[in-house]
Structures are given as structure tokens and as C-alpha cells.
Amino acid sequence: MAETRYSKDHEYIRVEGDVGTVGISDYAQSQLGDVVFVELPAVGKALSKGGEAAVVESVKAASEVYAPVSGEVVEVNAELEGAPGTVNEDPAGKGWFLKIKIKDAAELDALMNEAEYQNYVKTL
Amino acid sequence: MAAEALEATTDTAGAPAPLKTPLHARHVALGARMVPFAGYDMPVQYPSGILTEHNWTREKAGLFDVSHMGQAFLVGPDHETTAKALEALIPADIVNLAPGKQRYSQLLNDEGGILDDLMVTRSADSDEDGALYLVVNAACKDADYPHIEARLPSNVKLIRAEHRGLIALQGPGAEAALAALAPEAAEMGFMTSRTMKIAGIKANVSRSGYTGEDGYEISAAATKIGEIWDTLLLDGNVKPIGLGARDSLRLEAGLCLYGHDIDTTTSPIEAGLNWSLQKRRREEGGFPGAARIQRELAEGTSRVRVGLLPEGRAPAREGTEIATPEGEVIGTVTSGGFGPTLNGPCAMGYVAKAHSAPGTKLNLIVRGKPLPAVVAPMPFVPHHYKR
């Protein structure tokens, strides 16, 4: 069963086996406002935990999206190029950014689970 | 994600408490996201979001709170005396400004650099002869007022209109919305001003704005501006619009934002604001930095402000380097982002004169990568002023 974990920087990773689907949380999209552009990495790129994975731009500003864990990019959501607003409409579903082959599953332990993340957001 | 994008609502620690406009409580009640701007707590967007607000303004009518801007009156014994006092500070022809007319100009320093840009209005009312109404930028007003006062003759005074609010009604639906409350609004031409009663409240109205659309700016007593705001919002075509859409609207309209596209390092000629210098002033001079500006008018400038259209979808933001296809850096983006009406990115910036012709292919260096762009005429979205 897939489990979703969150970083303090508001990325989520939904883990299925050794592959995680990465996107930004509903809180993050609501704070960003209308997303107008998403820059995704090349498939095959090695990402390190906390390093830049993608860029998301709202009307107002550009923001970096960080890799919640280390690993290799195995797929990116090319649909976002033509429909970046999907990130606002369905951040946890069709608005995903990339899939990553997780290098070290132990890195997931440092991330928050759903309940922990919702409590964290309440403190912001 | 990078935290700064999510922290727009967080006040800077140690900063003085932000000022509030007379409409502050209304913004909060409407669910606006409030951000610090030029010392004020201002709505950056309402719940519908910047894209929706931008498009609504282009298609219907948007209502903006711009009460943070500096309103003031310059008062002297007669029009010519007051106009000449102001002409010593700005390069526009104010002496020949007819009653009820408005002009855009710039406060210049002795080097011809821009200290602020402003709107100057001569009252239509003959018993107010000798008074000029000024609107300056919020972030500049605390510097502008002493600058102006220090340079006035003893018979001309600057009176700060701190107890006034200012709202802008912009878009193709603006005329119908305001004329329903004050029919004379429909008769006004672009860059004219008159006094009228709106919902029973005395207001100074000009037909102008900062979106490229037809529309009005409405000044009234701070205690009464909320009633005008509320009454206009009863019109189904009028919605409140925040500073976020105000910025994307003015960018598409090719209008300068002070502190970004123009500042003390730029002259009005480099900025392409030649149209705001009337013939008599160009010839006679008599404003700060006149020698430089007259030379630039005759010989041109080494750099100019241009519009830039990136070829892809990625916006190029303020500070982005502009380079030739060969890699030589020849300028910097001063404003850039996504144009909702354009449905694509657009930007403006300064480039070396040799690379400023429309159609010139240049690269914008975004996150270290060259992004192809082309020099394009502005506005990016045609103006719809009431001529």
C-alpha cells in the first residue's frame, strides 16, 4: 500500500515499492497561487536529498522544488508543460511532478507522515 | 520548496507595524491575502486568485485599493505660479495644462535620474485655480514631499492629502459601472479629471489608471471612500483586484514600475518616456538634469528600455541577464513574469542601443541557461483608453 510522506519544504513523496511520486502539497499550491510554469528535470538525472529537483512558477514568483529523498528520476509529468494549472487543481493526483527511484529508503524516515504534516502546517 | 515564496504573509521581524488603508478591514473580510508593501498591509490577491482577477479586469471591471499612494496638493496664488514651481522639478509642460486635464511626469534629480513618477492634475474648477493635485508612489512619498517642499518658492505650499483614500476602477465595464452612479463619468475623456458625487459622496475622479484598460481613479475622504467601494462592488461586473494582478496588468500594458523599470539611475529618455516631455520643455529646459536630457533627445542614449518576449513558456524575472546569441551580456530584465492575457511570459528591461530594434533575437539567462527571446514592441496587450 502506498504511503505519502512530506518534507518541511512542502514536497510530498508517495512511495510504492522503491519508486516515489513527488509533488507539492495542497498547502504549498494554495500559498503559491496560480501556477503558470513548471520546469522538470531530465529523466535519468540523479537527485540528492534537499537538492533542486524542479522549478514551479506562479504569476508572482519562481520557487525551487527540492528532492525529498535521493535517487534517480525515472519519469516526469510532461502534461504539466501544457497544463501547469493542474498543480493547483489536483496537487496530490494529476499535478505530480516526477517519479524517483529511491536510493536509500532510510531517508524516508526523516519525513513526516500525513498526520504529522497536517499538524506542522497548522503551526505555520 | 523554497520558503520565501510561501512566506509572503510573514512580517519581517523588527519592522514597524504596517500602515493600514481606510479599506483594510474590507480586504480582510473579503478573504484577501495581505502582504507588506511600501509600509502598508495590502491585498496581493483575493480568494479567486491573480489569474482570475487579471482576466476579470480585462473583460469586466476590477476595483483596486490604491490608497497607499501619496496624494497631495500644490497650492499657489494662481495657476502659472504653481505650475512654474512644479516645472522646476519635472520635465512636463504644466503651465499649458488646461483646467480638468491630467499629465504623467517624473520628479528628476540634478543628473536627470528619476526620483519618482507621478500624475499631475489641474482642477477643472475655476475657484481652485492655482492648485495642482499630485499622486506619487507609496514607497517614494516620504522622500518626495521634503524634496518638493525644499524647492518651492515661498508663495507655493505642498499640502499632503493624508485623509483621503484612492481607488481605481479599471476595465471595459468601468464606464457603465461608474456612470450608473454618476452619469457625468461617461462623458470624460482619457487623462481628464472632474469632481462628482458618487453614492452621494463628493469625489475627485480622473479617467486614467495603470492597467492599459479604460477606467477611473477615484479620490475621496478616507472616512467615505469605503462607501464608494461598497457601492461599486454591488455591481455584478465589478470585483476587487489585488496588487498581484495590478502588476501583471501593468506589465502587459508596458507601463513602468518605479524602483524596478525606472529609478535614479535611469533617465526618462532611456526609459522611452519621451512622449511625457512636451515640446516647450524639451526646447526650453529649466528642469533638473535638462542638459543631459536635451543631449539624449538629440543624440540618443547608449541603452534603452525594450519589451522582450521569451520564446518558450518560462518567465524571465527581474534581474535576469540579457545576452546576445554570441553570449555577450548587453542588459538586464527590470520586470518580467507571466502575462495572463498574452497567455505567455513577457518582460521588459534595458539593453544596449545596438540590440534594441524590434525583432532582434536575444537570450535571457534563466537559471544559468540561455532562453531565446525576441525584442518586441510594447504594450504587449493593446491599450483600450477612452480617447
pLDDT digits (tens, 9 = 90+) for B136-153: 999 999 999 999 999 999
Put simply, the answer to whether A63 touches B4 (Cβ < 8 Å) is yes
Q: Please report whether residue A75 resides in a domain.
A: yes
> So what's the ipTM on this one?
0.91
Q: What ranges do the domains of chain B cover?
A: 3-67+163-252, 302-387
At residue B9, does pLDDT exceed 60? no
User: Quick one: pLDDT at residue B1?
Assistant: 76
- Give the mean model confidence (pLDDT) for residues B224-232: 98
User: Quick one: pLDDT at residue B11?
Assistant: 47
Put simply, the answer to whether B54 touches A62 (Cβ < 8 Å) is no
At residue B93, does pLDDT exceed 90? yes
Q: Which of A34, A52, A66 to mutate to test the interface with B (most CBs of B within 10 A)?
A: A34
User: Quick one: pLDDT at residue B13?
Assistant: 55
Query: What whole-number distance in Å separates Cα of residue B236 and Cα of residue A15?
Result: 47
Q: The domain that contains A81 carries what CATH number?
A: 2.40.50.100
Give domain B302-387's CATH architecture. Beta Barrel (2.40)
- Give the mean model confidence (pLDDT) for residues B211-215: 98
At residue B296, does pLDDT exceed 90? yes
**Domain residue limits at A14:** 3-104
Q: Is B149 annotated as a binding residue?
A: no
- Give the mean model confidence (pLDDT) for residues B12-41: 91
Are B40 and B138 contacting, i.e. CB atoms less than 8 angstroms apart?
yes
CA distances from B344 to B66, B252, B313, B315, B366 (A): 27, 10, 6, 8, 16
Q: Please choose, from the candidates B322, B366, B311, the residue with its C-alpha nearest in 3D space to the C-alpha of residue B348.
A: B322
Put simply, the answer to whether B3 touches A9 (Cβ < 8 Å) is yes
Give the predicted TM-score (pTM) of the model. 0.95
Q: Please report whether residue A40 resides in a domain.
A: yes
Put simply, the answer to whether B1 touches A11 (Cβ < 8 Å) is yes
In this structure, is the dihedral angle defined by the CA atoms of residues B236, B237, B238 and B241, taken in order, positive or negative?
positive
Q: Please report whether residue A109 resides in a domain.
A: no
Put simply, the answer to whether A60 touches B4 (Cβ < 8 Å) is no
Q: How far is B260 from chain A (nearest CA, A)?
A: 15
Query: What whole-number distance in Å separates Cα of residue B72 and Cα of residue B107?
Result: 14
The number of folded domains in chain A is: 1
User: What is the percent of chain B where pLDDT is above 90?
Assistant: 94
Q: Please report whether residue A112 resides in a domain.
A: no
Q: How far is B10 from chain A (nearest CA, A)?
A: 10
Q: Say which CATH topology domain B3-67+163-252 has.
A: Gyrase A; domain 2 (3.30.1360)
Nearest to A33 among B3, B45, B313 (CB): B45
Q: How far is A66 from chain B (nearest CA, A)?
A: 6
User: Which residues of chain A are within 8 Å of residue B248 when distances are taken between CB atoms?
Assistant: 59
Exposure on the CB side of residue B309, measured as CA atoms within 13 A: 18
Put simply, the answer to whether B315 touches A37 (Cβ < 8 Å) is yes
Task: For residue B376, name the pLDDT band (cuts at 50, 70, 90).
Answer: very high
At residue B228, does pLDDT exceed 70? yes
Q: How far is B245 from chain A (nearest CA, A)?
A: 9
